[in-house]
Amino acid sequence: MTTTLPIDAHVRLDTHPTHPSAVTAVLTGTQARIALMGLEAADWTVVADNVLVLVRIDHEEPYWAEDAAKHLSAEGITVEITLRLREAIDEEWTWANYPMPWCTRSEIREVSNEAQKIHDDIRHGQLLIHAHAHDGHTTVAVGTYLGRNGKSVYLHGEDHLRQIADTFDSPAQALLAFEKVHAAGMRPGAAPLTDTERAAAEARAISDLSAAKPESSGPEPETVPAYLADAGDHDALLDAFLDAHGDWEKWRTWSDETTHAIHESQTLRIERVHETPAHETAWTVAAYETPVSDRVWVLTATGATPALVLQELLDHLADGDGWDTAIGAPVDEKMVTAATQPLSDAGWKHTVDGRWIRWTSPAEDAGVQFDAFTAQHPSQNLATWTVWAGPDPDRPTWTLTASPHTPSSLLVDLSETLAHETGLRRPQPAGPERRTSLVSSPPAAPAVAAGPTASRSR
């Protein structure tokens, strides 16, 4: 297997200091030029020395910034995503009164991405607009793609709803057809910029992005126990795991919301639900005695689980001898003691309360709980082990649960990480910095077919 060599380039992605949804990229390192060329190819704009911005008319910059981060990371480039950008990436939002309500979120993104391509083609001078008009509902226009065999197109809509409604073999043919329908309101050249287009142009024109510079990015990350570390990029974590282990096969659901990874033995499976709220289950690992049997054990983790904890889990799964899919003996006191010995050695407080056996960190900001009652019902795959961190067990920042037959060696490794490992956490901003949900009323539905347009060659 080919190993990707690390590149001396660091990319810090953050929200734009003045434009609501735009994203900035600050590049450092002796090989920063490699990252710059990759971002430019993805339509990021260079605005200063090693500073780029991503500005789109569909307000999907956080999504495409995360996509760029994955590609850069795959090339061996270090990528940092700030907390406020991560919040924007994870934020759920939709267009109010969207004229194609039957579209899923991914289909809406596909439609708007096609509109973005048209906008960029016009902006870069690759699509020349001959004339425009208003059809009583929205802006329509006619133009021609420059270059050999360039086609002429009829455009319908504005901003994230602009579509190619028809194509013609020549500019003359396109103009005649356009004039036949819109003669009364036809005007030469492109239509005036919309408010969205004007704001995007202003964001790209700003050269003073000092707020995006590393030295003014806020407090430096602090070293904390592993259970308090940042969640990091879960998708990148899984991608790196699968890239490094060819004995796992990956596939995504049709809705693109979930990734499944299955070991070649088909007895161990990972389910990763993308864009999951911090407190909901984002990971499920399940083991089976045979490919068609019931689960032997199952482990879940929520969206805010620190990357260090998940990395330990994946490292354990990568070891073919480190996980067990055979039904073993019932959980007994000896197994529980062995699984939690690292916590006891590190001074975690041990208490017993009826059916509950608990270990709490010295600072009382994390804990492990064992349910002796559910341990006696292993066939039900109930959450026998619960790991948590946060203000208190009732308001955890993240949780991890495991069923009775979860391998004790895995539990020991997780306990070691919780008790002895440290990671980085960037302090939360002093005030709320969540991106405002970008909700607006788009133009009326196009008169032409409104489904996602097919990909076109430029």
Contact 216, 157 (CB under 8 A): no
- Residue corresponding to tokens 């287009």: 197
Is the pLDDT score of 128 beyond 70? yes
pLDDT in tens, 30-64: 899 999 999 998 989 998 888 999 999 999 999 99
Q: So what's the pLDDT on residue 434?
A: 35
Confidence of residue 444 (pLDDT cuts 50, 70, 90): very low
pLDDT at 430 over 80: no
At residue 308, does pLDDT exceed 60? yes
Which pLDDT value is given to residue 329? Answer: 60
Q: What was the pLDDT predicted at 257?
A: 82
Looking at the predicted structure, is the pLDDT value of residue 446 above 50? no
Mean pLDDT of 178-191: 92
In the predicted model, what is the mean pLDDT of the chain?
84
The per-residue pLDDT for 391 is 87
Mean pLDDT, residues 369-389 taken together: 86
Per-residue pLDDT, 148: 61
pLDDT band at 330 (very low <50, low <70, confident <90, very high): low
Instruction: Note whether 187 and 131 are within 8 A (CB).
Output: yes
Q: Confidence class of residue 433 from pLDDT cuts 50, 70 and 90?
A: very low
Whether the pLDDT of residue 413 is over 90: the answer is yes
